[in-house]
A and B are shown apart, each in its own frame.
Chain A
């Protein structure tokens, strides 16, 4: 299994993946920062080319690149788009659910499927999808957050703002809803959608909300062509 070292934590995390000759790592498109010259990159679309294009029209790109070291050991540097921490989750038989923007990379044995029914940020433009990671063999999933990563234990129930979700154990039940007040109050208050968790399991949250950040910065930029 490739060795993954994460440096520059917690804000500017960079994963250094060391590959033995012939070993591979699969990463989200755009995650590569640098690599040694003997690493080959191959692009594949999740669910074939059609599936990949479907994702693009849905506003979400889900192409992944497979990096393989040829003729000797190799190194690939990977990072997510926004500032924040990264953590490598060892796979278990139950698997994880991952917020799509948090997925960075995984070992080739891990199956990553898009789960139907993502959720849109409250009155925001960006759509968020939920990914499901499962594997019959040992593996690793690398997730990157916007902000710091905090592991919470749900013992019974917990309410989490959807913009702060990174990943959670597939053993938990979850449902998405309004934050609790009326619609007007929700809009004025800035609280968007929340996720109600029930059961036992771990939830990884990020200490910043990317949609809110995007809105705050976007409001200061010159308008774009429609």
Chain B
């Protein structure tokens, strides 16, 4: 039986954040125990529960110290995404005047992975970002015009800095070490690190494959590094559901 979190001491805000991931690997949920001075940045819409005294503030996800241009760009992108569907770009900032907890969870089933960033860079597909605490910088990278037309995988988030990061996978998460080249279905990509370059293209299969393979877009990675794949894909779910739909 789980009882409400009551942190007994006041830990140093610059140390690692106290948190717990429960209900993994299928329906992982993250609880962060806040102390005054800490801010949890979390993807918009992800809040499950919070203590009444925890404050919530909506911001545009334009990086930590964005200039006006970056802010405008972020707003425009967010509006486009909100209208045509796909990941939105607003985040919530949670702070607390006294110790308190906030629970967050992603929309799709799967895992939450915790990562302490110590200066390295991790690139995530935007749907994978869940929350972060600390000196974590987020920069949006554009995946190319082709991917903008697909409903997913258009934007990537480049995360760097020092702090705690939590990201999600739709399904289970697996690391594949690339040495040379490797192909990943766009909807199954969580993120990557290392000196990898990638190219988004059609899946192949000739002319018939272009229209009928059902495979959509793929990312072809070149170089050396680690890619993270997830074992489920939203487009594949939609495709599987379509013949079952009434009307």
Tell me whether A and B are bound partners. yes
Chain A residues near B51: list those with CB within 8 A. 157-159
Cβ contact within 8 Å between B27 and A181: no
**Interface-forming stretch among B116-124, B219-227, B238-246?**
B238-246
> Of A148, A190, A220, which contacts B22 at CB under 8 A?
A148
Chain A residues near B235: list those with CB within 8 A. 220
Cβ contact within 8 Å between B56 and A152: no
Interface flag for B107 (CB, 8 Å): yes
Flag A160-202 by CB within 8 Å of B: 1 or 0 each.
Answer: 1100100000000000000111000110111110001000000
> Of B29, B45, B241, which contacts A189 at CB under 8 A?
B45
Interface flag for B114 (CB, 8 Å): no
Give how many B residues have a beta carbon under 8 Å from the other chain's beta carbons: 44
Among B47, B237, B247, residue most surrounded by chain A Cβ atoms (within 10 Å): B47
> Of B1, B23, B56, B237, which contacts A148 at CB under 8 A?
B23
Quick one: closest B residue to A197, CB to CB? B52
A177 to B164, CA, bound (A): 31
A191 to B58, CA, bound (A): 9
Least CB distance, A211 to chain B, in whole angstroms: 10
> Of B47, B90, B151, which contacts A188 at CB under 8 A?
B90
Cβ contact within 8 Å between B52 and A159: yes
> Of A189, A207, A209, which contacts B28 at CB under 8 A?
A207
Cβ contact within 8 Å between B109 and A11: yes
Chain B residues near A83: list those with CB within 8 A. 26, 109
Chain B residues near A192: list those with CB within 8 A. 45
Least CB distance, B52 to chain A, in whole angstroms: 4
Cβ contact within 8 Å between A148 and B108: no
Quick one: closest A residue to B31, CB to CB? A150
Interface flag for B82 (CB, 8 Å): yes
The interface size bin for chain A is 35 or more
Quick one: closest B residue to A207, CB to CB? B29
> Of B26, B56, B90, B108, which contacts A180 at CB under 8 A?
B56
> Of A157, A205, A208, A220, which contacts B109 at CB under 8 A?
A208
Interface flag for A221 (CB, 8 Å): yes
Interface flag for A116 (CB, 8 Å): no
Query: Given that A205-B49, A220-B238 are contacting pairs, would A213 and B29 also be in contact in the complex, using a CB cutoff of 8 Å?
Result: no
Flag A140-156 by CB within 8 Å of B: 1 or 0 each.
Answer: 00000001101111110
Having A161-B47, A189-B92, one finds 15 other A-B pairs with CB under 8 Å, namely A11-B27, A150-B2, A152-B4, A155-B4, A158-B52, A180-B55, A190-B46, A191-B44, A192-B45, A205-B103, A207-B29, A213-B108, A220-B151, A220-B234, A221-B238
- Taking Cβ atoms with an 8 Å cutoff, the residues of A that contact B are 10-11, 83-85, 147-148, 150-155, 157-161, 164, 179-181, 185-186, 188-192, 196, 205-209, 212-213, 216-217, 219-222, 224-225
22 A-B contact pairs sorted by A residue (CB < 8 Å): A10-B23, A147-B29, A151-B2, A158-B4, A158-B52, A159-B52, A161-B49, A181-B56, A188-B82, A189-B58, A189-B90, A190-B46, A191-B45, A196-B52, A207-B27, A207-B105, A209-B45, A209-B107, A213-B108, A216-B107, A220-B151, A221-B242
